[in-house]
Every structure is written in structure tokens, then in C-alpha cells.
Structure 1
């Protein structure tokens, strides 16, 4: 089976360990798993983490990369893959299972001709979504959906600040926030990215760290150390930081005095549930909003696309078509 996989890991030069080639398809690891023929798979920072050795033990190599996919079951059903795999005995919300994994951590991932997943981890794909659009949903767009409407509990008319225009989650938050009737502001160091953010739905865009016209109800935070202080200062009293990443570093000064004195809420969240993935697809169908896709590449183009992701040289999702 042709796939993109981690052969070795290097924290400084992660792409050195990337290979595109053939690995055997071992079949279903457990009863009740189904095979998905992958039509499209999106790239994420998680793929770079795996190549750096973060979250993927060396004794599991070689490991096929990829958490996101849309494809076809053996019976012809078109599906979107939900990549959060709870432990077999877990009962309850899958994201709260301490032993949960994502595809490509314990079980082979989606950057392949086929992927095996638990039957409960597939959501029927509506034909109104293209393969590329559907494959963009399970990580970035699902994370943004949960941040906006679960962690921050935002309602139409509220104001949200999205830190760091251009990344997958930030771009998704702009698209979904605008579609939901939020007032969406965004920050970026890049003038070009600020303009693109406005093009896809942001009401206004500001320099990173800039003083805003007024304080906001919530902040979508995935940048971390570089923007954390600004996120706290931007919030109105009682506001919420929805936190799902820290690409610039995870240990900024906590500023606990600001948090407790202004009754701020900091809500950590990761990915989302299968039910929320269904709701996310329903939202796109109802509003007409669609994922922003920067580029679509064949499997042989994964290395170049991951290099762009590592450099932050993209706006929106990078998607792979394994059969192309």
C-alpha cells in the first residue's frame, strides 16, 4: 500500500525522516474496524510533531502519517473520518479519555491509499462537500468549531479575536465565526495575511499585539507565548480564552492576577467529538460556508507541502490526494 510515513525522527530537521513508499496493509487491528479508501487527506501540525518525535514513540515506527481523511467504505458509502480513537473500554465523550489516541499515533494514519478505523469513527459525507473540503474538517475545522461554540459558548453578535491568521485552526475560526453571525477580528504580523483574512470573512484585521478598538468576548488562541499576554488584555471582564495550541511556545508568564481580578476564563480544548463533526458538517451545509484550501498535492508532493506547513508558508489547508 502506497503511503507517506515516518521512518525516523529528528527534532531539528523533521522532514529527514519522511518517506513516501509502500508498506503492507496489516488489515483491521480489532473487530469492528472498517476500511476506508482515501480520496483526500489533509495535513496538520500533528504530522510534523510525529516526525519530530513528539507523541509518537520510536518503537512504533514506521508509522503512516495523517489524522484527517474523507473516502469510501467497501460498500460504497462516502464518509468523513473522525480521528479520535478512545480506548476499547471507555464510556463517555471520547476526547476526555486519558488513553485516547489519534490516528497515526497508535494505529496507522490517513496519508495512504487505505486506512482502517473503528466503525463508530466514520460520519456519512454529504455529496454537497467535495473530497477536499470534507478532508479538511476533522482536525482544524472541528477544533475551531468546538473552541467557538463549546469552549467559548459564543452566540451571534458577540466579538471574537482570532490570533494568528493563516493557520488551519485560525482560518477555520474565521470562516465558521463569520458564518455563525459573530463579529470576527484577527491578528497577524503579515499585511498580506491580514488582507486574506478579511477576504475570507474577518470583519477587521490588526497587527499582532495591536491595541483593539474595544475588548472582545472571547479569544481563539493557538499561538501561545507570542500572543498570550495580548489575548488576556484583549478580553472584557468575564471573557474567555479558548486554548487549543501553542505553536510559539507553551510557557508564557501566566498573568494569574489579570485572570482572577477580571474573572477571565481559560478553557483548554482539543479536537472534538464525532457528534460535533456531524454538527460541523451540518453547519456548513446550512450556511454555505466552506473550508479554505491553499493547495492540493499528490502523495509524492507530501514532502514539499509539509515543508510549507513547517515554514508557515500557507493560508488555509494543505490537502493530499493519495490516488492522484
Structure 2
């Protein structure tokens, strides 16, 4: 088979579209013939950290396709079944949370390939109403958004949710899910185009990221903030969070080191909560939720698999709104 393989250099220079080993499924595994995949910022971080000493790796955590073969012991997934892949391996229930979840696409080979082997329990029925491209970008971003909003954020109908830096895959899923839950959603962005797109998707307010958020939101306190940015936005978040409110962090695009006045957290008795990806239990719940509300991923652009490097460059430059898909 052919695949997007990273080897020999860090960053995008290590990407090659080439032949890769084609294996048969072992006990409890299935082989999925992939129709579409998605890319994430996680892939960029992995490539940046890899060196020419690392073994070749097929990237990609998101994907959807058709069962091509099954290993011994697999009885409930027939050949030809259409499936979407849960990329978190071995995290079955809400508790306990693993130290470091094993994710498809690093350390194990991923979805930017013609086929992939996964545990049978990580293959879920593809929502029929989604196209292959929509299903292909769904898994990691939608799972992360679902856990951040509902498991960790404990979102309730009618609450005010703020999503700084709207545009990425997780943020756009969170917007759609929060609106479906009956929340009032505000977003921030430096781009007026992205602000307008968020309003069209159901956001009630869209403000400039560089503005004074308290003034732009007309002093309306926020119950729940989903933050993927980190140091550059936390100060503003603490200024607008409601007493007893929750700030859920799932990324750190502006850096890893946080510095803020402790009083700004303990006086309003706010909660600063971390989250990342999610369990199989939550993956199943997420699929039920999007089917119930007929939520469709926001597809920014779909690239042919041989043009995956161009797709990553678009993501690197922050041009996307929604998820970037890869057609296999």
C-alpha cells in the first residue's frame, strides 16, 4: 500500500508519499480500507519533535473507511462495514484517566494511508448522513470538544460559553455542539472573516481577540471558557469568567508557561481544568450526540493524499476555518 510516511528529517521536510508495509489483522484486530482522513495540530507537533534517528511513522489520527479484513475473534464487524475510527487506544471508560493515552498516528502507524490495522473495538459505525470526508475528519477533534464541553466543562443549557480563537477543528466542533445544547456562545478571532463565519454557525457574539473582552462582551460574565491558546489569553479569560465559572484548557498554542495573579483564580472561585482527547465511552456518546442533532463537521478544505504537505502548510499558517480533510 501507499502512505504518508515521516522519516529522515524533522518538520514537513520529513514527509513522503511512498510504499509502506501492508499487513494482515491479528487476533481482535480489523483492517480498514481508508476512504478519508483528517489532520490535526498534533501531527505538526509530532513532526517538529522527530529527528532523523526516529523510525519511519505513518501520521494521522482521524479516519473513516470500510472493513477489508478481520482477525480471529472478531465476530460483530462484517467485511464491507462502513466505520469511523476512534483514535484513542486502550482508554475504555471515563475513569481511570491514562497517564499518556496511546493515539493512532504516534506511536502506532496512523490513518494517512490506504489501510490501517486497529483493535476491533475502536471501529464504530459511520454516521450514514455524513460524507466520507466529513466522517474522516470527525474523530479526534469532535471527541476532544465533547469531553471538554460536557465531561470536564459540565455545560448546562442556557449557559454562556466563550471560545477564544475560533477557527480550528476542535473549536468549531465545540461551537456547533454548544449551540445544539442550548448554550449562548461567544467567540473571539483576529480575523473578521472567521468572526462572521462563526456567527453564521450560531455564535451569538464574535469579537476581536485583541479587544478588551469585558467591554466587547458588554460586561456579560461567562460560565464556561474553552481555551486552546494558553498564556496569551488566560488573563483575559480570568477577567470575564463568572464567579464559580470553569475554564477548560485543551491546548497551548501560545506557549506552555502560565503566569497569572493567584487572586484572579481564587477570589472568583473559578476552576481551571485540563482535558485532552477522551475515552471510548465518550466517543460513543459523542457519535450519538452528533447524530441526534445532525451536526456536520465544518470542512475547511479537502486535499488529495499526495498533497498532504500542502494541507499541513495551510494548517501551519493558521488559514483554516474548521477541519482539513484528506481524500485517500
Q: Which residue of 2 aligns with 1:34?
A: 30
TM-score normalised by length of structure 2: 0.91
Identify unmatched segments of 5+ residues in structure 1: none
Q: Which residue of 2 aligns with 1:2?
A: 2
Q: Distance in 1 between matches of 2:208 and 2:152?
A: 25
The alpha carbon displacement at 1:99 in A equals: 4.7
Residues 95 and 273, structure 1, Cα contact 8 Å, conserved in 2: no
The alpha carbon displacement at 1:225 in A equals: 1.5
Q: Distance in 2 between matches of 1:106 and 1:92?
A: 21
Q: Distance in 2 between matches of 1:48 and 1:132?
A: 21
Q: Distance in 1 between matches of 2:43 and 2:150?
A: 26
Q: Which residue of 2 aligns with 1:229?
A: 235
Shift of the 99–246 alpha-carbon distance from structure 1 to 2, 3 Å rule, reads: closer
Q: Secondary structure at the match of 2:308?
A: helix
Q: Secondary structure at the match of 1:146?
A: helix
What does the per-residue CA deviation read over 1:287-323, in whole Å, with 9 as the maximum and x for residues that have no partner?
Answer: 122110011111111011100001111111100011x
Q: Bigger CA drift: 136-145 or 279-288?
A: 279-288
TM-score normalised by length of structure 1: 0.92
Task: State the number of aligned residues.
Answer: 313
What does the per-residue CA deviation read over 1:26-70, in whole Å, with 9 as the maximum and x for residues that have no partner?
Answer: 444x631211111110110011112101xx676552100000011
Q: Distance in 1 between matches of 2:24 and 2:239?
A: 51
Asked if residue 18 in structure 1 is aligned to residue 28 in structure 2, the reply is no
Q: Distance in 1 between matches of 2:81 and 2:137?
A: 19
Q: Distance in 2 between matches of 1:91 and 1:282?
A: 17
Shift of the 100–284 alpha-carbon distance from structure 1 to 2, 3 Å rule, reads: closer
Identify unmatched segments of 5+ residues in structure 2: 69-78
Q: Which residue of 2 aligns with 1:299?
A: 305
RMSD value, Cα:
1.8
Q: How does 1:275-314 map to 2 (within 5 A)?
A: 275-314=281-320
Asked if residue 72 in structure 1 is aligned to residue 72 in structure 2, the reply is no
Q: Which residue of 1 aligns with 2:270?
A: 264
